[in-house]
Structure formats: structure tokens, C-alpha cells
Amino acid sequence: MTVDIIIYHNPECGTSRNALAMIRNAGIEPHVVEYLKTPPSRSQLESLIARAGIGARALLREKGTPFADLGLGNEGLSDAALIDAMMAHPILINRPLVVSPLGVKLCRPSEAVLELIPAAQRGAFAKEDGEQVVDAAGNRVTAG
């Protein structure tokens, strides 16, 4: 299936790897942007945030980043200041951020990517931790 999906991906991140695997499980090979090697431009980042319908703070990653050292917990910081920090330190951009014909979304948890894939899953899928997300018929498994 030819569908234009972009995933801003960090191969070191399990959530990002799981989201990428679910896209591929639908028979789609996305355009993978390893954003730590090839960060988005400021205008791209601003557009992604706007299209996702979130503020810059919602895209900010704390764990394993200079978040605390940079004082980014200060709620008084503007979106522009937070984007400045993400441009200077791309590790601050949370992942995976997925762009599809159905929208833009920060896919945390990874199964949130299923809302952006315009094709059925081709078979069962379990996340790296063993959690079943899609059954053998390609249907999403709901908790509970």
C-alpha cells in the first residue's frame, strides 16, 4: 500500500520501535526520520506541534534529557522558548511523532499510532514487552 507516513523516530526508544513496527504490520513502509541525526527545522517543528493540536510543552521530553538542567520545568516559559530548547537539544523532542493522511500525533503509548494508519493490521502484534495490541485477525485488543 502506498501511503505517505512519516515517523520521527529514535531507534533507541522502545515506544518508537513499537510504533514503527505497527506501521509496518499494516504493510506500509513509512519515511523514517531519525530526528537526532536529522532534526526538523524550526518551521517544521512549529508546524508539527500546531498540526498535532498540542502545545510545545506537550512535546517536551524530560527523561534522559537536559530538561532539568535547562530549567524547562518553569511553567512561565513560552512555547517559543521551549522550541528554542528543542532546536538546541533535539533529544528534548519526545517521540515518536507520526504524520499521516489522518493527522499528526505524539504516539505515546505506541498503540496510539493505530489511529493514524489508514490500513488494517495484517496480523497479530505484540509490543516488545509482550503486551498484545492486535489480535490474529488484525483487530485492536482493548485492555480490560
At 107-122, the pLDDT tens digits run: 999 999 999 999 999 9
At 45-85, the pLDDT tens digits run: 999 999 999 999 999 999 999 999 999 999 999 999 999 99
pLDDT of residue 1: 52
pLDDT of residue 3: 80
pTM of this prediction?
A: 0.94
**Of 5, 13, 72, 92, which one is the catalytic site residue?**
13
**40, pLDDT greater than 80:** yes
Share of the chain above pLDDT 70, in %: 97
- How far the first Cα of the chain sits from its last, in Å, is 32
107 is catalytic: no
pLDDT of residue 14: 96
10-33: average pLDDT: 96
**144, pLDDT greater than 80:** no
